Amino acid sequence: MTEKDFPVALKLRIDWSELDYFGHVNNVSFFKYIQASRVNYWDNIGLTKSHRETNIGPMLASCKCDFKQPLFYPGEIIIHSRVDFIKNTSFSICHRILNDKGQIAAEAQDIIVMFDFNRNEKVTFPKDLKEKIEKLENKIF
């Protein structure tokens, strides 16, 4: 799979405060990068705006990260994201974190449940949101 298979990208600068005792980016910072990328994807498909208007939106159920190699300061990363699947009430976003040499530093997967925060229950994945994702991803789920 190449970066062209990931339609959303986010460029971030590595901050010195993200380093651990050993001088490389701490594992917790990777999860902050993944979170930033997840929200960036939501913004791209209008989910953040829709959630603010309806109080129906995403709830993170799981986040998994496989670390491939360390990241260092100073530097920049690019996180590429794509939707992996859409089910009845949930969907998955996959992320690929690249260092400033274009090498894979980590790969991650989020499982996200669509949730009605008014009624405190899961809801069916919205058809209009699925259509936006399909247009962005240029594929049918």
Give CA angle at 35 (11, 20), nearest 5°.
Answer: 80
* Domain enclosing residue 87, as ranges: 4-14+22-135
What are the pLDDT digits (tens) for 79-92? 999 999 999 999 99
Question: What pLDDT score was predicted for residue 3?
Answer: 72
pLDDT at 30: 98
Domain tally for the chain?
A: 1
How far is C-alpha 18 from the geometric centre of its chain's CA atoms? 19
> Residue 111 falls within a domain, yes or no?
yes
Please report whether residue 140 resides in a domain. Answer: no
Report if residue 141 sits inside a domain.
no
Interior angle at CA 114, CA 110 and CA 117, nearest 5:
125
Q: In this structure, is residue 61 part of a structural domain?
A: yes
- What is residue 72's predicted lDDT score, i.e. its pLDDT? 97
Could you tell me the CATH number of the domain that includes residue 85? 3.10.129.10
Q: What is the pLDDT of residue 12?
A: 98
Its pTM stands at: 0.94
Give the separation between CA 121 and CA 57, rounded to whole angstroms.
Answer: 11
pLDDT at 131 over 90: yes
Residue 68: inside a domain: yes
